Structure 1
Amino acid sequence: MRIAARDRKIILLQAVTEENEAGEVIPASWEIYARPWAAYQPVSDGERLRAAAVEQKADARFQVLWMPRLAAVNGAFRLRFDGGDWRITGVKEIGFREGLEITAWRLGKGAS
């Protein structure tokens, strides 16, 4: 992954949880976990159609450098980019600790 390719700043968010009246643990708010530089790649229409066939949803991929803190990111986190929040649907390692590819889809306005 070239340094020039990581030209977008993203914010990774971790849930701050609380217990509701039913005793369920739910996200109450989101706090900043990390602010890495990332390469942004929208998912093509063809990929989107293939993903729909297996009931997956993805709007984009973000590639970041591997580091222990970012390797802990999973689907319980959120990603903030381009003025909106994104739900992380997958994280995979690129090479051996070279980078991470985060797959995500953009949430609608007012999503929590």
Structure 2
Amino acid sequence: MSVLRASALALGVCLALAASAATATASMAKIDTRAQFLDALSGKSLRIGIYGLSLDVQPGGKIVGRAVGRPVTGDWAWQDGYFCRTIFWGEREIPYNCQRVDYDGDTMRFTSDRGAGRSADFNLR
């Protein structure tokens, strides 16, 4: 394969991936209220299968679950349009953080630092 043809193929793959990511983001809507958040979660758990992660975010402000064979516990509150939480994974504390939440009906995306940080997508089951 010529260098030009390989470059064109690589560019095409990059553009397809970028378009796919943009579509995924565009189809998600920001959750603005505690009521919207609880309605979306009603009767479901947050899951990331590859990590064996399953979390139940309870209406009373508790988080319980497991990840990579260890218990996960924590507390959460809805503040100024963000999901704010403290979590322990086993004995390790994961610091307090307020996160933007987006949702598309099947997936919930949490973005740390009020939407300015890293994101994690959870399947709802």
**More helix as a share of residues:** 2
Same structural fold, with TM-score higher than 0.5 when normalized by the shorter chain? no
Q: With structure 2 as the length reference, what TM-score do the two structures score? A: 0.29
The structure showing larger relative contact order (alpha-carbon pairs under 8 Å, at least 6 residues apart) is 1
**More strand as a share of residues:** 1
Q: With structure 1 as the length reference, what TM-score do the two structures score? A: 0.31
Please tell me whether Structure 1 or Structure 2 has the larger radius of gyration of its CA atoms: 2
